[in-house]
Amino acid sequence: MSKMKFTVMIEEDKAEGDFTAYIPAIRLGARGETLEEVRKNAIDLLEMEIESAMKRGQKLPVDCALLETIEITLPVKN
């Protein structure tokens, strides 16, 4: 069995008290009440998408995400 790696961006929603994971390679996201749960849900989602692609004879998703932090200048408040 071979392995694949994927970029997963996880955000904490403090207002809702949960986490959201976005997987750029498949353009889908998963949610979870804990960091552990959102990771598991992201893995489950990736595995389902890959299995589905293989059954349909489609290309497997490729991780080509480029995550970057950008800086902006805020306007001065009057």
Q: Are 7 and 25 in contact (CB under 8 A)?
A: yes
Quote the pLDDT of residue 46: 96
Residue 17 has pLDDT above 80, yes or no: yes
Quote the pLDDT of residue 69: 94
Residue 34 has pLDDT above 80, yes or no: yes
Q: What is the DSSP letter of 61?
A: P
Average pLDDT score over residue span 11-27: 96
Residue 2 has pLDDT above 90, yes or no: no
Q: Measured between alpha carbons, how far is 66 from 70 in angstroms, rounded to an integer?
A: 12
Average pLDDT score over residue span 62-77: 92
Q: Measured between alpha carbons, how far is 8 from 67 in angstroms, rounded to an integer?
A: 10
Residue 77 has pLDDT above 90, yes or no: no
- Closest C-alpha among 7, 6, 34 to residue 20: 34
